[in-house]
Structure 1
Amino acid sequence: MGCAEQESGNGTTDGKKEQMDSGSAAGDAVLACVRCSKLARLQCPKCLELKLPRANGAFCSQDCFKAAWGSHKVVHAESKRAVIRADNPQDQIAEALSRGWLYCLQKGQHRSGRAPNFDWTGDLRPYPISARRFVPENIPRPEWASNGNASAEQYSELQNSVEIKTPEQIQRMREVCKIARDVLDAAARAVKPGVTTDELDEIVHEATIAAGAYPSPLNYHFFPKSCCTSVNEVICHGIPDARRLEDGDIVNVDVTVYYKGYHGDLNETYFVGKVDEASQLLVQNTYECLEKAIAIVKPGVRYREVGEVISRHASLAGLSVVRSYSGHGIGELFHCAPNIPHYSRNKAVGVMKAGQTFTIEPMINAGVWRDRMWPDGWTSVTADGKRTAQFEHTLLVTETGCEVLTARIPTSPPVFPWLS
């Protein structure tokens, strides 16, 4: 990654001198920073080299340029894609295989050059995946980073008792959740037709590493990527691959980061280009399900009440709630007690107490609630092939209610029209 250059005059990046145009793409028009919308006085040198629109590479400061690099560099890759038709899956697959990418099988522990056979429930198919991404040695990492083994988490006493965190632990949770929010926002800015989910994973990976954190999903029980990308009928745990997002898709990006010994977890579902009305309503209803569930979180509330609130709102719209996956405790462990189902009449035991941290992450389907597993052992899809959406936050129970540790911030991209 180089440095942004002054909007006028000469600049130097990575030892190479660039001659800059003092004008903008529209004469003397004022440009806004692509990250924060402030007045832009710097320009991405790579965009200039590729002769891309100046508005796409304008930044207000070096800090904004560096923070946006993970998502911004996708613009450069897009300019080189003309040789591969975005609407031709076979071209995409052949190109990926030519680079040595392979299909993922056996819960991430095996690769194959042949596409798996399966009674697919919808239109989506798995594509080849890239090699595991590198994590610098100086980045502290969880137990599974080297061998996929999460036995310490599995046998921890916190699987059976809910931890009440100290003020120092809570501050660590705030730090890691802020990083997780920034990382997810970087991915959100890159979602558009033609971008591969592997590219979204690269953005997540690099933004996480840049923050001095480790991408928690990477090698967790052999999961091969740094985030989950779940498209259309994929409920959760979709593996980023060579497939290019298409106009009309919806995609969930699920990010968890590990920093100073703690995990922060969140996800959102995004629109890709122009999306049909039914999908828009599905995504908005799912967002509302999470918001309504968060609204009841406070000391003394039973965990099982979360599912009642979510199911009630989803059913009023004719939607169903996935039952195979739940919210979970989080902190020094990626997953621990409490278990928080999202469906009604569940049997969750216990009540919320101040100092607890956990996730709520409803998965809402347009059709039936049942799910099926792809041959990769991770990708969960709707049994009828209809679309599904999900949103997730990490929460802290306070004395009077709750704090949304992964809440959207002023710089979060305005991707949801109902929040405008």
Structure 2
Amino acid sequence: MPDLRRLAAVLAAALLLGSCTSEGDDAPDGNDRAACDTSKGTLIVGVIAPLSGELGEQGKGIANATSLAVDQANESCAVDGYRLVAQPEDDGMNPDLGAQAATKLASTENLAGVVSTLNSSVSARVQPILDSAGILQVSPANTADSLSRGENFRTDPKRRFETYFRTCTVDSLQGPFAANYLVEKLEETRIAIVTDGLKYGEGLADSFTERAEEKGATIVTRQRIDGNATDFTKVIDALKPFEPDAVYFGGQFPQAAPLSEQLAAAGLTGPVMGGDGIYHDAYLSAGGKEGDLATSVGAPTEDLESAQEFASAYEAKGYPEGIGAYGAFAYDAANVIIDSLATTIGDGEWSPSMREDLVATVGEYEGDGATGKVAFDEYGDSTNHVLTVYEVRDGKWVAVETGEYID
């Protein structure tokens, strides 16, 4: 659900059709809705996401949700005098490609802001490029704490980039939320940790470990795999002597699913648990087994009244990809950019000199989004700390616990 200011714009457009029309505009469309004034030109909302590769479906869900928000903004004449265009760029889940995409967008004329990125390791390369140009970045999916508060975020948090914001919550909350469920609810107390060695997986595993040990669990071993591995014989051989009750995996579903399958075949039948990186339907068909667990940011889309309008509009567009774990967060990220852009420009004209004002406007943003209340703290992090635990039951992900993590 868009920000209240944007809803007001929609209502105004419906009641006063002529208010969005200026002399010389195109004729009304077939629905007798007067066309918006776009005489000031076009503004670009960029997207950086993996549009190809193993996470391509999730990346396309982010791009689709952004395009939906842009289309709705154009229909409601949200930014006075301008037509908005979404420009997606593929990072292939590769930091180097992400840097190339950021450089390309940074040099794109009339770029207003960027919905970016899915992977935290990619964002680490993208952030300084966009920030050096003063370009707003709002991520729907980055969860690594260090992106907003620095490597010493636990003891000495410092905001790294004033231009960076995110609509999802962070690993320092997601990991403990998972640990609480696995140790307290399921009473799994001998846990092995496996990570893919990347920023996201390592940070998630660190926060999980700290909380699990506080709750009395024993981390029997911690192993690392190659992020491109498909045969996990070596790591499984390392785990077997410890006979863990469960395995916590810090990484993405393309490795987590076959790892789960191979663990079970080797006699380690306890649940595999991970973060939002494994919460994907492809996990179920790639080897994930009954009883496996994942946490993900936010509440289930189908359970949120605030998300129903978005979900219906997304379905009506006929996108071949589903909303996925991050679609609603991408929709909110895009609307943060659009609504703040409308506020910053007002009835004036866009100039790159407005970028600093746009970033400041986002910092003060408060609105109702598809994921609930949307606002940011002093580090640019979302103030929405709701998380959900999902379990594989009868071949489907089923939400088993939703709540706000409180330390």
TM-score, scaled to structure 1:
0.26
Greater relative contact order (CA < 8 Å, ≥ 6 in sequence): 2
By percentage of residues, which structure has more helix?
Answer: 2
TM-score, scaled to structure 2:
0.26
